[in-house]
Amino acid sequence: MTLTDAAADSLSGRSIIAAIKRAGIRTVAAVPDIHTARGLLMPIGVDPDLTVIRTCKEDECLGIAAGLSYGDRRCLILIQYTGFWYAMNAIRGVAVEQSLPICLMVGLLNHTPGTDIGQAKRVGLRAVKPALEAFGIPYHLIESEADVAKIAPAIDDAYRTRHPVAILIGRSPEP
Amino acid sequence: MMDRKACLEILRRHITDDQIVVGAYSTANDWIQLSDRPLDYYFFGAMGLASSHALGLALAFPERRVVVLDGDGSLLMNLGTLVTIAAVAPKNLTHFVGHNGSYEANGGLPLPNRAVDLAGIARSAGIADTRDIRDLAEFEREVVGLLTRPGPVFADLWVEQGPIDARDYAGMYSVERRTAFREAVRRP
Are A48 and A21 a contacting pair, CB within 8 Å?
no
Please determine, for residue B113, whether its predicted confidence score (pLDDT) is greater than 80: yes
**Of B171 and A55, the one with more pLDDT:** A55
Chain B residues close to A30, C-beta within 8 Å: none
Question: How many residue pairs from chains A and B have C-beta atoms closer than 8 A?
Answer: 100
* CATH number of the domain where residue B90 is located: 3.40.50.970
Predicted confidence at residue B29, as pLDDT, reads 87
Are B4 and B98 a contacting pair, CB within 8 Å?
yes
Q: How far apart are CA B116 and CA B103, in angstroms?
A: 14
Tally Cβ neighbours within 10 Å of residue A140.
17
Q: How confident is the model at residue A3 (pLDDT cuts 50, 70, 90)?
A: low
Residue span of the structural domain in which A89 resides? 3-70+85-109+126-169
Let me know if residue B140 belongs to a domain: no
Predicted confidence at residue A29, as pLDDT, reads 98
Residue-wise pLDDT for B66-112, tens only, equals 999 999 999 999 999 999 999 999 999 999 999 999 888 888 889 99
**How many domains is chain A partitioned into structurally?**
1
* CATH number of the domain where residue A40 is located: 3.40.50.970
B185 in contact with chain A, both atoms CB, cutoff 8 A: yes
Region B172-176: what's the mean pLDDT? 88
Nearest-5° Cα angle at B24, B22 to B28: 85
Nearest Cα residue to A17 out of A5, A28, A30: A28
Instruction: Give the three-state DSSP class for B163.
Output: coil
Which residues have C-beta within 8 Å of that of residue B99, sequence separation ≥ 6? B72, B118, B156, B157, B158, B159
Nearest Cα of chain B lies from the Cα of A53 at a distance, in angstroms, of 7
Distance of CA B116 to the CA centre of its chain: 17
Compute, in degrees rounded to 10, the torsion defined by CA atoms B2, B171, B81, B105: 50
Tally Cβ neighbours within 10 Å of residue A42.
15
Mutation target to probe the A interface, by most A beta carbons within 10 A, among B39, B47, B52, B185 is B52
Contact at CB, A93 and B61, closer than 8 angstroms? no
Q: What ipTM is given for this predicted complex?
A: 0.96
Distance of CA A3 to the CA centre of its chain: 26
Element (H, E) at B156: strand B153-158
**How many domains is chain B partitioned into structurally?**
1
Residue span of the structural domain in which B49 resides? 33-101
Chain B residues close to A93, C-beta within 8 Å: 44-46
| Closest residue, chain A, to B175 (C-alpha) | A98
B44 in contact with chain A, both atoms CB, cutoff 8 A: yes
Residue-wise pLDDT for A101-158, tens only, equals 999 999 999 999 999 999 999 999 999 999 999 999 999 999 999 999 999 999 999 9
SS (H, E, C) chain A: CCHHHHHHCCCEHHHHHHHHHHCCCCEEEECCCCCCHHHHHHHHHCCCCCEEEECCCHHHHHHHHHHHHCCCCCEEEEEEHHHHHHCHHHHHHHHHCCCCCCEEEEECCCCCCCCCHHHCCCHHHHCHHHHHHHHCCCEEEECCHHHHHHHHHHHHHHHHHCCCEEEEECCCCEC
Tally Cβ neighbours within 10 Å of residue A49.
10
Please determine, for residue A171, whether its predicted confidence score (pLDDT) is greater than 60: yes
Instruction: Give the three-state DSSP class for B54.
Output: helix
